[in-house]
Amino acid sequence: MSWLSLLILIPFATALAVVATPDSKWYLRRWVALFGTGVVLALSLVMSVSYMQVVQQRGGDASVLTISQMEFEQSIPWFKSMGIEYHVGVDGIAMAMIVLTAIIIFTGVLASWEVKERSREFYAFLLVLVTGVFGVFISVDLFLFFLFYEVAVLPMYLLIGVWGTGRKEYSAMKLTLMLMVGSALVLVGMLALYHAAGSQTFDLNKLAMVDYSRDLQQWVFPCVFVGFGVLGALFPFHTWSPDGHASAPTAVSMLHAGVLMKLGGYGVLRVAVYLMPEGAKQWALFFLVLTTINIVYGAYAAIRQTDLKYFTAYSSVSHCGFVLFGLCSLNLMGFKGAVIQMFSHGIMTGLFFGLIGMVYGRSKTRDLTQMGGLSKRIPWLATSFYIAGLASLGLPGLSGFVAESTVFLGGFFGNRWVDATTMRICTLLATSSIVVTAVYVLRGLSRVFQGPMTKPEFSQMQDATIPEKLCTGILVATLAIVGMYPPVLIDLIEHAILPIANRF
């Protein structure tokens, strides 16, 4: 059995084990979930080291490749008549996303340590969701890719609708409907590529060798880009995201922003950009302008928020815009920046939403105007919050700086298909969002943690528990490691990005 198959079997088996726990021993469920996700985290780290060793041993010049090279492949015929296979494999991009997912689900379980209401179903759905996410990242067959994509998205409806807060039913329904519309566009695009290939295969690399007509790519590319872009919070299809974030329980918010939204950027890169380079060239300017609006609008919208979750949700809309902006630059530096930003933002926003859940559990409010002076009582959580905020505004030494600076360099380098002046104007506008980000991050943090305590009951608050310290410590350490030693991530992804960049 392939290592990759274990990435989907272990979470699913853990979900079954959680379901099998006795009613009287609810506390066992969190330990079962923690053990299962811990095994997956360890496996993902071992696989990433093994992947680097395989790539180094194989050698060769990746700068001349135009087809992605997959490792740890396993292929089993499924529906032979339609060319559908259980075909899994990874390159450096997928490997980075697998490590990200493993970190977020492990820390998400720690952040949900006190969940008691219907904990059996909660942990089970959470693990099924992450099974789907892993499945997306390891799929080489597009039909399998889409199948796991739907498995990853659908549990969100129940996780928000049952365990959420506020307008949870409305938020769950809005999220599900908008993502289903996006999925429909993706499915149309995939079926069009399959039919036009004429070879009865959904294999990603075989489809990449097909010379699709310019006319086909002209209408299929925007379908796939927008379809995945809905999940990546592409303006103006982002409106489901803030509501979904605000209503979701802590671990679900962490997975939602930290991993699920990255499926959008990953899908755009893996399917739209990789398979349809001519379509990408034709639509580059349009989507470049749209993603610039994405970045600037999200930053200004965050300034106006008084709810901590909405505040972070609009910040995520802005930062996810950097991913799509980097992809629209159509050059090696931009692609590299987009993937680094997916990883960096996943860790950073996972930390943000985890901390918001921990602070809300103590203060019983997310209203910025009602909070103040909390650093006196919860110094660990306050310090972690500040580190997340500094990563968000791109402080050197943290991963946000590496990601955003690489995306901006990709924008300035430009490409042959978009006017250089237009490209640089969009890049300058996107860069200006850093100033806006600094304003809302520093102002928001000062309101929550500085100054006098606004309520007497805040003086009874307790600082982070051991599971919460472990959760936040892992995420903070990851931000720092990638920020201070970027090659730990860049070396993993660069070999996989070159074949995609070489298609332009």
Classify the C-alpha dihedral 277-281-284-286 as positive or negative: negative
**Sorting pLDDT into bands at 50, 70 and 90, what band is 63?**
low
pLDDT recorded at residue 65: 64
Backbone torsions φ then ψ of 165, nearest 5 degrees: -130, 170
pLDDT recorded at residue 64: 59
Backbone torsions φ then ψ of 417, nearest 5 degrees: -110, -5
Token digits for 231?
A: 């999940």
Rounded Cα–Cα distance for residues 440 and 109 (Å): 29
Number of other residues whose CB lies within 10 A of the CB of residue 466: 9
CB 240, CB 174: distance < 8 Å: yes
Half-sphere exposure of 228 (CA within 13 A, CB side): 29
Rounded Cα–Cα distance for residues 332 and 327 (Å): 9
pLDDT recorded at residue 59: 64
Rounded Cα–Cα distance for residues 241 and 299 (Å): 14
b/e code 27-55 from CB counts within 10 Å (16+ = b) = eebbebbbebbebbbebbeebbeebbeeb
Mean pLDDT of 396-425: 86
Q: Which of 395, 376, 349 is nearest to 463 (CA)?
A: 376
**Sorting pLDDT into bands at 50, 70 and 90, what band is 36?**
very high
Element of type H or E holding 201: none
Element of type H or E holding 72: strand 71-79
DSSP letter for 68, please.
Answer: P
pLDDT surpasses 60 at 234: yes
The more confidently predicted of residues 369 and 134 is 134
Rounded Cα–Cα distance for residues 74 and 79 (Å): 16
User: Considering the chain, what percentage of its residues have pLDDT values greater than 90?
Assistant: 20
Number of other residues whose CB lies within 10 A of the CB of residue 211: 7
The SS3 call for residue 71 is: strand
**Sorting pLDDT into bands at 50, 70 and 90, what band is 134?**
very high
pLDDT surpasses 90 at 200: no
Mean pLDDT of 269-280: 90
**Sorting pLDDT into bands at 50, 70 and 90, what band is 451?**
confident
Mean pLDDT of 419-435: 87
Per-residue model confidence as pLDDT tens digits over 467-501: 889 999 999 999 999 999 999 888 888 888 888 88
Which CA distances in Å does 442 have to 32, 78, 211, 254, 436? Answer: 39, 53, 50, 22, 10
Side chain identity, residue 209: M
Per-residue model confidence as pLDDT tens digits over 322-363: 999 999 888 889 999 999 999 998 999 889 888 888 888 777
The three-state DSSP-derived secondary structure of 462-493 is CCCCHHHHHHHHHHHHHHHHHHHCCHHHHHHH
Which CA distances in Å does 170 have to 164, 244, 360? Answer: 11, 9, 21
DSSP, residue by residue, 76-138: EEEEGGGTEEEEEEE-HHHHHHHHHHHHHHHHHHHHTTT--TTHHHHHHHHHHHHHHHHHHHH
Per-residue model confidence as pLDDT tens digits over 161-177: 887 777 788 888 888 88
**Sorting pLDDT into bands at 50, 70 and 90, what band is 102?**
very high
Per-residue model confidence as pLDDT tens digits over 139-158: 999 999 999 988 888 888 88
Per-residue model confidence as pLDDT tens digits over 282-327: 898 899 999 999 899 888 888 888 888 888 888 888 888 899 999 9
CB 131, CB 151: distance < 8 Å: yes
Side chain identity, residue 25: K
